[in-house]
Each structure stands twice: as structure tokens, then as C-alpha cells.
Structure 1
Amino acid sequence: MPSYTDAFHGRPRSAIERRLAIALMALGAPRGHAQYNWGDRGSTDGTPRPVTVADFAWPDQKVAVFCDGWKHHHTQERQASDKAKRDAMRADGWTVLSYWGGQIVRNAEQCAEEVLERLTTER
């Protein structure tokens, strides 16, 4: 059985991310990045500040995945913020996939299949 470190640079943080990671590993998805920092908002001390952190990403194919738990992503303000960040990624040529936690809990395999389909078409 492969471990997260075999399948990803970094580790999934939440239960829904781990569930999707396991489904991706079961399908044999290529090695990706968990908790991928994208973009740079700049800073006063020169330390990069990411625009967003994708839960999973495959930078070579420019595919990013976000796993949104209701607790942290249900407000209109948060959803507008998420949309703006993801639209910025799309404008940079990324394919961005977003899944609600409930989708992942109900059918992580289907979510993983959609991710894998994008990975194979974005090569």
C-alpha cells in the first residue's frame, strides 16, 4: 500500500483531503503536491506570500484541486474570495477543480476519476 509521501510532495491536512488522496492513490494518479502554494502577493520583507494554497496540484499539467469543507467555505464572503483566487489561477492557464467535502465523503472515487481525467487530458 503506497503512503502519502509516495504519492505527494507534502501531506494532505484534513479528513476530506486524506479521503481524496487515498482515492487518487488507488487510481494510480501521478505524483502531485499537497498544500501547493500558488502565486505571490508580495511582502515587505521579501518572503513570498501565496495567493492561494491548492489542496492538491500537478504544476507540470497546471491542474489544481481544492477540497472545501462547509465549516470554512460556506459564507458568501469566503466563496467570493475563493472564486477570485481560483479565477486568477484559471487566468494563468490552470485547470481548477473544486469539491465540497460532502461530495468527497459520498463518492471520493468519482472525484478522483474526474481529477485523473483532467490530468490525462492536460499533458
Structure 2
Amino acid sequence: MEPGWCALRRTFVIDLNELIIRQDGVLTTSQAQAAGLSRSAVSRRRASGEWTAVAPSVYLVSGHLRSARAQARIAVLSVGEDAVLGGVAACWWHRLHLKEPAKHHVFTGRHGRHARSSATAVVRHRDLADEDVTVVDDLRITTLALSVLDAAAGLGIGILDSALLSEDVTLADLRSAHGRYPNRRGAGPVSRYLDQLEDGTRSEAERRTAELFRDAGIDGWTANVPVCGYLLDFVFLRSRLAVEIDGFAFHRDADTFQRDRTKRNALVADGWTVLNFTWADLTERPEHVVEAVRSALLRAAS
């Protein structure tokens, strides 16, 4: 064998191995061929058990676990190499959402039935604009803006707030992506979330809190009371309980954060119990707010 061919073969092996490592042990027939492997060579690796078929033309290489990342790749590549991971799974891939996804929403522009690697792939037809598709770690996924918009339909407004807090996306980015797919699943509630984020008024948050207290039969409170030199949102004077509404995290800069911590420390030092809630708590977990306030009032009374 000629020295030049040996060097070329070594380069090919290194490139193929690097591809396999980068893709968590997952690759397709077409990717292997693009890296220089013939179809017969792919067949030999499959026959020997070196590569295991996990979907039509999608393989998991021996020695690599079928990890959460590998499964996400399998779900997407089983639909097609032009498919795109979206929703909660894409937020997880963007490292914004920590919980590993049980399902993988996969978007494709092609109509009809699509092969699936397993029940984790949920295939949806959507013609995505180029500006809403990106590649992260060699996997096609929706951009952060569209990912969190789709995820918010199930996870609620908190995921939008977290994305804005990361400063990797803006409200304008969210509005633009939202406008490109006005009829997508969950668009109605998400539109209202965007309005709430854009407004962000404390008066609305305080109004909702007051309604929540009244509906739950919680009384003995007063709104906007000065204590220890600070104006508090809600005060239960007899119980020395303060309830503060933090609003949206992305509105809170470092100075605001520090002022709130200083205020909390001063109140605690003066014998107050302080409960902090967010807009997401009020709108999505109101029972949690009610239970926390009731528990604090009971402790104060005992």
C-alpha cells in the first residue's frame, strides 16, 4: 500500500471517529458516506455488531451509551437529516431547561408518515424559516426564541422569563418568532404571556395577589405598608408576616437584586417573616402561594 494512501486512510479514520464522538456515538448512513465510508463498509460494521441500527439508516456505535443526548439525536435523525428538534427538548439542548426530556418534538417540512426511532419522537409538520433554525453540537434545533415559545405552551411563563434573564434572547426576538407562526399549537396562551412580560406592571401583580387572598379567605393584610424604612407589598401586621411580589426575573438588575436582599435582611433582623413570590407563582401555582401564606400565619399564631 502506498504511503500516501496510508496517510489518507489514517486521516479518514480520525475524521470518522471524531464525528462519532461529537455526535455521542450516533450517525447516519449518509453521514458515514460523506466521511468517506462506502455503503458496503457500513453494512459490514452493522453485520459485525460494531454499529447497531436504532432507526432506519441511523446507528449507535459500539462502546457508546444510548444516553439522553444520543436519544435526542436518534429521535431527530430518524425523521430525517433535515429535521429539527424543538420545544422543551430544544430548551434542554440549549442548556436552559435542566430536566432531560421524556419526549422529543421534531419538526419537519415534509408531509406524510415518518419513521420513528422510538416513542420519544413526536413528529410535527412545520415549515420553519431559516432564521429559526440553528445548529448546536452538530444537531439541528430551533433557535432559543422559538424553542422557549413552544416550550411555554407546556411549561408556562417561567421558561420565557428564564430565557430573557439569560440575555441570550430579547422580547423583540420572542415577538418576531411568535409572529412567524401565529397558528401553531399553544400560540394563544403564549401571546398573553408576552403581553404580561412586556407590561410587567406591579399594580397587576398586586391586584392578582389581593384577589387570591380574598378568594382563599385570607384576611388581616394591608397593601403597601412602610416597615423598617421600606414599602412592602403586603403586610400581616399582627403576625409580622411580609409578602413581596418579585415580578419577572429578567427585569431585575444587580442593583435591584441587592436592594431586595438588603431589605429582606433588615426585616428578618427586626423579627419579620418574609415570603417572596413571582408572577409565575401567582398565575400558575396560586395554590402554592395560598398554602405558604397560611402555613406562615399558623406558625406565627402558635
Q: What TM-score do you get using the length of structure 1 for normalisation?
A: 0.73
The answer for the alignment partner of 1:36 in structure 2 is 225
With over 3 angstroms needed to count, the CA separation of the structure-2 counterparts of 1:56 and 1:72, relative to structure 1, is: farther
The answer for the alignment partner of 2:162 in structure 1 is none
| TM superposition shift of 1:112 | 2.0
SS in 2 for 1:99: strand
More helix by share: 2
Give yes or no for the alignment of 1:23 onto 2:212. yes
The answer for the alignment partner of 2:247 in structure 1 is 69
In structure 2, C-alpha distance between the alignment counterparts of 1:75 and 1:121, rounded to whole Å: 33
Give yes or no for the alignment of 1:106 onto 2:295. no
The answer for the alignment partner of 1:53 in structure 2 is 231
| TM superposition shift of 1:30 | 2.3
Which residue identity is paired with 1:22?
A: E
Give yes or no for the alignment of 1:88 onto 2:266. yes
With over 3 angstroms needed to count, the CA separation of the structure-2 counterparts of 1:23 and 1:81, relative to structure 1, is: same
| TM superposition shift of 1:72 | 8.4
In structure 2, C-alpha distance between the alignment counterparts of 1:98 and 1:91, rounded to whole Å: 17
With over 3 angstroms needed to count, the CA separation of the structure-2 counterparts of 1:52 and 1:63, relative to structure 1, is: same
The answer for the alignment partner of 1:116 in structure 2 is 294
RMSD: 1.8
With over 3 angstroms needed to count, the CA separation of the structure-2 counterparts of 1:37 and 1:72, relative to structure 1, is: farther
In structure 1, C-alpha distance between the alignment counterparts of 2:287 and 2:232, rounded to whole Å: 19
Percent of aligned pairs sharing the same letter: 30
8 Å Cα contact 1:27-1:113 kept in structure 2: no
The answer for the alignment partner of 2:257 in structure 1 is 79
In structure 1, C-alpha distance between the alignment counterparts of 2:300 and 2:251, rounded to whole Å: 28
Which residue identity is paired with 2:253?
A: T
SS in 1 for 2:266: helix
| TM superposition shift of 1:71 | 7.2
The answer for the alignment partner of 1:8 in structure 2 is none
8 Å Cα contact 1:68-1:101 kept in structure 2: yes
Q: What TM-score do you get using the length of structure 2 for normalisation?
A: 0.31
In structure 2, C-alpha distance between the alignment counterparts of 1:36 and 1:72, rounded to whole Å: 26
Which residue identity is paired with 1:36?
A: V
SS in 1 for 2:217: coil
Deviates more, 1:69-78 or 1:25-34: 69-78
| TM superposition shift of 1:109 | 2.8
In structure 1, C-alpha distance between the alignment counterparts of 2:271 and 2:293, rounded to whole Å: 16
Give unpaired runs (5+ residues) of structure 1.
1-12, 40-50
| TM superposition shift of 1:75 | 0.9
In structure 2, C-alpha distance between the alignment counterparts of 1:32 and 1:91, rounded to whole Å: 21
